[in-house]
Amino acid sequence: MNSIIYPTTNFKHTATLIIERGDGAYVYDSNGKQYLEALAGLWCTSLGYNNHELIETASEQMSKLSFSHMFGGKTHQVGIDLAEKLSAMVPVENAKIFFGNSGSDANDTHIKMLRYYFNAIGKPQKYKIIARERSYHGVTVASASLTGLKPNHTHFNLPFDALGVLRTDAPHYYRNALPNESEAQFIDRIVNNLEQLILLEGADTIAAFIVEPITGASGVIVPPEGYYQKVQAVLQKYDILLWADEVITAFGRTGNDFGCKTVGIEKPAMMTLAKQLSSAYMPISASVIRGDMYDAMVEQSAQVGVFGHGYTYSGHPVSCAVALKTLEIYQRENIFDHAAKIGAYMQKRLHEFIHHPLVGEVRGKGMIGAIELVANKKTGQAFPDGTVGNFAMQACQNNGMICRAVAGSSLAFCPPLIVNKSQIDEMIEKTAKSLDQTLDFVVREGLL
Ligand code: PLP
């Protein structure tokens, strides 16, 4: 027993695995056992472990300027360079960037920026945000309120109403389609639900719709083709901003530079970035907004007053330097092209699991995927709780691979973007062995 309160546990949890070091796509525990990191930490260590260029960049920046803040317009060159580079990369028009420390706080920033913006343009009543069931947007009070996963709500009495959070369908055809409903009918039904929600609440009260292009923590939900085209048409009709939470999907993860491109989202008004922005070598996030929103805030700020928001570590120079170097490496080493190629191979190999007796659905794009374990393959009946998913995750760990059980009984895969084909093969072999062990367990316990 030690003195740590572990995140996302029932408090009774005690550490069973001490990770001591990492190298490339592998981490090693305190007994020297090697694990393939098939979830890139928490969907973040895109360039793997022990990248000397990133380590040296951090060290040099610490020697040069270990801290400087961005309050009141003070800045530093790496912060400026990072903002310019990011602004040129993202699909947000004339993007302006606010730096933070985590995906959660970046989403909080966005909520406040939306409120400030609509106040500035004389529409203070336009503050509500539509978020989806089974979405994940973080764990601060505000971002957890956007999050649609129920376990992140329980016991916290979150201020959904005060924040104006509205909820609409998760675009998961396998789980949420009605009997005999085609994909096209499913899309029409849930997009119609979205439109009805807007009409019920009043479009003039709704600021934005937040989406993960492809979800992560809720089990890697890939919406059916055509979903986002219809969603965008509705949002345009009612003048509601599209806010892409790309905390997981940005920077080559889904087979393109941004997840928006993979799923057909054109020009989001806002984008949230974190994790792979620095390959998780330093904490940093970015709240990105369209240039015209920024211009309107600048114009009106004399009347509205100061935008009183910022974190001590907004634009931390070491984080900015590491993020800038990460983006340089992505471009220099053609990491996104590599990830697209290896990602296509990973999807092909993952889809082989559809023949396994425990697997109900395999889903994913590029270098992110999941396999959903089910009690009845024919009907898709889910296991009643997370026992089987957790068993499978533990089996993977015993077999020398780290992945994650999400949304009950789905196993999620999101390896560093730098992995090669033989490491994908290793991931598949270890998963196959773990699934067979899980099947033995399920049969033994009479859960099938
Ligand atoms: N948004 C998405 C889509 C995420 O997946 C996450 C974390 O996994 C967050 C926001 C929150 O990021 P953080 O854990 O850095 O606060």
Angle at 81 (CA atoms; ends 80, 82), nearest 5 degrees: 95
**β-strands 128-132, 165-168 pairing:** parallel
Over residues 327-360, the pLDDT tens digits come to 999 999 999 999 999 999 999 999 999 999 999 9
208 ligand 1 Cβ < 6 A: no
Structure tokens at 261: 């491109």
For residue 136, the CA-to-ligand 1 centroid distance in Å is 7
Q: Which of 43, 275, 276, 313 to mutate to test the pocket of ligand 1 (most atoms within 8 A of CB)?
A: 275
Judge whether 246 and 213 are in contact, CB under 8 Å.
yes
Query: What's the pLDDT at 211?
Result: 98
415 ligand 1 Cβ < 6 A: no
Q: DSSP readout, 20-34?
A: EEEEBTEEEETT--E
For residue 446, the CA-to-ligand 1 centroid distance in Å is 36
CA distance 142 to 102: 13
Over residues 193-233, the pLDDT tens digits come to 999 999 999 999 999 999 999 999 999 999 999 999 999 99
For the CA of 42, the nearest atom of ligand 1: 8
Query: What's the pLDDT at 73?
Result: 83
45 ligand 1 Cβ < 6 A: no
Q: Residues with Cβ < 8 Å from 302, sequence gap 6 or more?
A: none
Query: What's the pLDDT at 316?
Result: 98
Q: Considering the chain, what is the average pLDDT of its residues?
A: 96
Position 321 pLDDT exceeds 90: yes
Position 145 pLDDT exceeds 90: yes
Query: What's the pLDDT at 3?
Result: 87
217 ligand 1 Cβ < 6 A: yes
Question: Could you give the ipTM of this predicted complex?
Answer: 0.99
CA distance 279 to 47: 6
Q: Which of 44, 137, 220 to mutate to test the pocket of ligand 1 (most atoms within 8 A of CB)?
A: 137
Judge whether 231 and 199 are in contact, CB under 8 Å.
no
CA distance 111 to 114: 5
Position 110 pLDDT exceeds 70: yes
Length of the chain: 448
Mean pLDDT across the stretch 18-42?
Answer: 98
For residue 436, the CA-to-ligand 1 centroid distance in Å is 32
Domain ranges in the chain with CATH number 3.90.1150.10: 334-444
Class of domain 54-332: alpha beta
259 ligand 1 Cβ < 6 A: no
Position 237 pLDDT exceeds 80: yes
Over residues 239-292, the pLDDT tens digits come to 999 999 999 999 999 999 999 999 999 999 999 999 999 999 999 999 999 999
pTM: 0.98
- Three-state secondary-structure class, residue 363: strand
136 ligand 1 Cβ < 6 A: yes
243 ligand 1 Cβ < 6 A: no
CA distance 268 to 147: 19
Judge whether 291 and 380 are in contact, CB under 8 Å.
no
pLDDT-based confidence at residue 420 (cuts at 50, 70, 90): very high
130 ligand 1 Cβ < 6 A: no
Query: What's the pLDDT at 163?
Result: 97
For the CA of 104, the nearest atom of ligand 1: 16
Domain ranges in the chain with CATH number 3.40.640.10: 54-332
Position 103 pLDDT exceeds 80: yes
Query: What's the pLDDT at 373?
Result: 98
Minimal-distance CA residue to ligand 1 atom 10: 137
Structure tokens at 29: 């525990």
Structure tokens at 145: 């309120």
Mean pLDDT across the stretch 47-54?
Answer: 98
Secondary structure string (H, E, C) spanning 68-108: CCCHHHCCCHHHHHHHHHHHHHCCCCCCEEEEECCHHHHHH
State the fold for domain 334-444: Aspartate Aminotransferase, domain 1 (3.90.1150)
Query: What's the pLDDT at 15?
Result: 67
